[in-house]
Amino acid sequence: MPELPDIVVYCEALERRLPGRVLERIRIVDPFVLRTAVPPIDALAGTTVETLRRLGKRLALGFAGDRWLVLHLMIAGRLHWTDGPAAPPARNALAHFRFTHGTLTLTEAGTKHRVSLHAVEGAAGLQAHDPGGIDVLACSAADLGAALTRENHTLKRALTDPHLVDGIGNAYSDEILHAARLSPVALTRKLTAAEIGQLHAAARNQLTLWIDRLRREAGDRFPGRVTAFRPEMAVHGKFGQPCPVCGTAVQRIRRAENEVNYCPRCQTGGKLLADRSLSRLLKADWPRTIDEAEARRPATRAVRSNR
């Protein structure tokens, strides 16, 4: 899912291309993407883009007359820009927005129909699409602590709740928690002031780091490689690979469609967190610590070599 760094770079790329330009034509390819009927989306045709705004993981295009188009890319949604009269991409296209100098295309890989478009009017219509999470890049450590401890959840859940924290999802929460050396299953109301300070600093550093990296990667081009899995990441998507800090194999917890990736030495004091499916299957054979898991590996390799 495109998260805060990706959405920021998308927004900046669109800010270089759209303000002051007239939207000539809208073509909805897949009717499932359009989730509102009032105002009609065709009413935006012929109007000028005045501003762009990020609402958590959503992008909002502001048009003359205080009308807005809100795009939520969800997991598999992506944006593409085609200069001039060239044909826009057709594969997986959901909608095309035609301007005099180019076309913005919205796509979605797969068939789950999660991407959404909403046409809204006025501040109230726009506010309805703002989840309201706190902006880590603008808030203090105390503000972040107050948001996280409003309810008692695991850190992983709290960081990825858009009503609590703005724009952070599965990938960057893994990176932030690793940088903060905090367990993904630590409970928010049990965090010390020092741990909240570590989390605040790590979140700001990681998000700023990745925004800068993605800006440099895109340059003046429209962002073309938006992915949650990048080789420079420390733990996200790195199951079984060495932690860049201590060399311990990165571990994971699988839950539904998501994975939690973490380093047991850096984040959990050597403890292996229980993967619901595997730990239930293995029961007593499930290793409780990374030391226990690593101690079993040579024996496993020796048995295989003797076969």
Q: Tens digit of pLDDT for each residue in 58-80? A: 999 999 999 999 999 999 999 99
Q: Tens digit of pLDDT for each residue in 79-104? A: 999 999 888 988 899 999 999 999 99
Work out the mean pLDDT of the chain and round it to a whole number.
90
Angle subtended by helix axes 193-218 and 141-148, to nearest 10: 110
Q: How confident is the model at residue 286 (pLDDT cuts 50, 70, 90)?
A: very low
Using CB atoms within 10 A of its CB, is residue 286 exposed (0-12), middle (13-18) or buried (19+)?
middle
Indicate the pTM of the whole model.
0.90
Spatial distance between the Cα atoms of 307 and 87, rounded to a whole number of angstroms: 59
Q: What is the pLDDT of residue 89?
A: 87
- In 5-57, beta strands by DSSP E: 23-28, 49-55
Spatial distance between the Cα atoms of 107 and 213, rounded to a whole number of angstroms: 24
Least Cα distance to 228 among 257, 194, 193, 269 occurs for 257
Q: Tens digit of pLDDT for each residue in 140-167? A: 999 999 999 999 999 999 999 999 999 9
Helix ranges, 71-140 (H): 122-127
Check residue 81 and report its DSSP letter.
Answer: E
Q: Which residue has the higher pLDDT, 13 or 225?
A: 13
Angle subtended by helix axes 4-15 and 193-218, to nearest 10: 40
What would you report as the CA-atom Rg of the chain, rounded to the nearest whole angstrom? 22
Spatial distance between the Cα atoms of 211 and 206, rounded to a whole number of angstroms: 9
Domains of the chain: 4-127 (3.20.190.10), 141-264 (1.10.8.50)
Spatial distance between the Cα atoms of 125 and 67, rounded to a whole number of angstroms: 9
